[in-house]
């Protein structure tokens, strides 16, 4: 793997569209933003990525990056971006996530377009920082798409990405572009965490702790089902479920509240469903977890959509995935956890859903009191 920012550049005479150059069409877009006349529509027409070429693509992104890098020691117009050092006593927190068209998203007719793809790419990374209580700082994005991708769709994507990052206080300071057979995206994000705060590692869960989750997992999974095959009539009145899938929000304030008030917390974000992520907590901490079916926050609308898809609300809540809620274990009682949120003006619900026990497996106690093992399901990248 090449070092960051050290990619072979195309010479100006080399066209973006030459297939033989495919392995070399990789250029960090810290360069070439000030060429006049680039990144604009031709005769009012919506150009494709192939028509724009690499320079046109880079020029299109120039105004976005200039907004975020103007105050940096070195920003737009060079091979790298240089930022200031973190404040004394701070740790840097790094994360990276990828999204590939056909695997992580599709451009459904009922979805809000490419803007939601940009927002979701940002939210999935921000959620990782939230799970450690970190404050977002800087982002780098790698963008790959077919040559026939329209300029307007590219603009929508970067608009959504920039907005979601800006709302979280992060700056988009550069990245990479490449031609690809389908949309292929990757975002690297760095945040800061005061050194005096504990690290809420997955390995810190201890027997006797309670297990909590924010929000209502399963809603994103229900939104996916509404977009992916269920009758369009079912979407009426359930737009909030589609939004939960298309526009998740990272729980940044919630994550900071948890690590500040509960130094014993073990935490991760719910990207693959409570069932799969709770099993990861078991594995990393060397403990068992008992989920309580009666306590899981299964919302009525999730149950309705699940039923229409031949599933149960419990199944979607456990294995729906892409909720980007926070799952955490702490010895603190539920009333104290809720009070910590209220004191900070956080309105996100938080629910005790089980407990940490001796052992090494994940089980669920049914409403009738019987207990059974849970086999992790949910999305598997390499299945």
Contact 222, 316 (CB under 8 A): yes
CA distances from 207 to 51, 211, 286 (A): 60, 10, 10
Which pLDDT band, with edges at 50, 70 and 90, does 174 fall under? confident
Contact 173, 83 (CB under 8 A): yes
Cβ neighbors of 110 (< 8 A, separation 6 or more) are 226, 227, 232, 235, 242
Mean pLDDT of 201-210: 96
Strands 325-330 and 210-214: antiparallel
Which of the following CATH numbers is that of domain 22-194: 3.40.1400.10, 3.40.50.880, 3.30.1330.10, 3.40.109.10?
Answer: 3.30.1330.10
Predicted confidence (pLDDT) per residue in 31-79, tens digit: 322 223 333 444 456 788 778 776 676 677 777 767 777 777 766 655 5
How is the chain split into domains, by residue range? 22-194, 202-373
% of the chain surpassing 90 pLDDT: 66
Question: What residues are paired with 357 via a beta bridge?
Answer: 288
Contact 259, 330 (CB under 8 A): no
Predicted confidence (pLDDT) per residue in 256-276, tens digit: 999 999 999 999 999 999 999
3-state SS record for 294-353: HHCCCCHHHHHHHHHCCCCHHHHHHHCCCCCEEEEEECCCHHHHHHHHHHCCCCCCEEEE
Mean pLDDT of 282-297: 97
Name which of 258, 271, 279 is nearest 212 in CA terms.
258
- Whether 315 shows a pLDDT value over 90: the answer reads yes
The structure's pTM equals 0.81
Strands 266-270 and 325-330: antiparallel
The length of the chain, given as a count of residues: 383
CA distances from 248 to 140, 154, 187, 268 (A): 20, 20, 16, 16
CA distances from 36 to 33, 54, 211, 218, 351 (A): 9, 14, 56, 48, 55
Q: Which fold has domain 202-373?
A: Phosphoribosyl-aminoimidazole Synthetase; Chain A, domain 2 (3.90.650)
Spatial distance between the Cα atoms of 195 and 304, rounded to a whole number of angstroms: 46
DSSP 109-133: TTS--HHHHHHHHHHHHHHHHHTTT
CA distances from 227 to 140, 222, 231, 234, 241 (A): 30, 9, 9, 10, 10
Spatial distance between the Cα atoms of 116 and 125, rounded to a whole number of angstroms: 14
Residue 379 has a pLDDT of: 52
Name which of 164, 144, 139 is nearest 154 in CA terms.
144
Contact 224, 105 (CB under 8 A): no
């Amino acid at each position: 793997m090449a070092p960051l920012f050290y990619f072979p550049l195309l010479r100006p005479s080399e066209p973006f569209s030459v297939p033989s150059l495919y392995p070399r069409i990789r250029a960090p877009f810290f360069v070439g933003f000030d060429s006049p006349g680039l990144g604009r529509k031709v005769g009012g027409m919506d150009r494709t990525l192939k028509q724009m070429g690499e320079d046109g693509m880079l020029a299109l992104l120039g105004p976005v990056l200039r907004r975020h890098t103007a105050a940096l020691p070195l920003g737009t117009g060079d091979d790298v971006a240089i930022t200031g050092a973190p404040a004394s006593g701070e740790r840097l927190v790094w994360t990276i996530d990828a999204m590939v068209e056909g695997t992580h998203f599709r451009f459904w007719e009922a979805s809000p377009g490419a803007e939601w793809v940009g927002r979701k790419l940002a939210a999935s990374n921000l959620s990782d920082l939230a799970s450690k209580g970190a404050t977002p700082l800087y982002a780098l994005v790698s963008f790959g798409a077919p040559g026939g991708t329209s300029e307007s769709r590219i603009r929508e994507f970067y608009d959504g990405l920039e907005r979601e990052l800006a709302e979280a206080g992060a700056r988009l300071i550069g990245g990479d572009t490449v031609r690809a057979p389908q949309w292929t995206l990757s975002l690297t994000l760095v945040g800061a965490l005061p050194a005096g705060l504990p690290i809420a590692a997955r390995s810190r869960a201890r027997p006797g702790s309670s297990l909590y989750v924010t929000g209502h997992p399963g809603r994103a999974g229900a939104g996916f089902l509404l977009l992916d095959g269920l009758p369009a009539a079912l979407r009426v009145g359930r737009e909030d479920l589609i939004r939960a899938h298309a526009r998740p929000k990272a729980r940044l304030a919630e994550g900071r509240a948890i690590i500040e008030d509960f130094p014993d917390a073990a935490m991760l974000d719910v990207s693959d469903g409570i069932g799969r992520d709770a099993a990861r907590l078991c594995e990393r901490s060397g403990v068992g977890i008992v989920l309580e079916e009666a306590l899981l926050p299964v919302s009525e609308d999730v149950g309705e959509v699940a039923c229409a898809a031949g599933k149960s609300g419990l199944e979607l809540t456990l294995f729906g995935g892409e909720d980007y809620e926070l799952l955490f274990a702490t010895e603190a009682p539920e009333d104290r956890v809720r009070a910590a949120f209220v004191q900070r003006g956080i309105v996100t619900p938080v629910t005790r859903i089980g407990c940490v026990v001796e052992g090494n497996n994940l089980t669920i106690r049914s409403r009738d009191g019987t207990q059974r093992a849970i086999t992790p399901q949910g999305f598997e990248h390499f299945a």
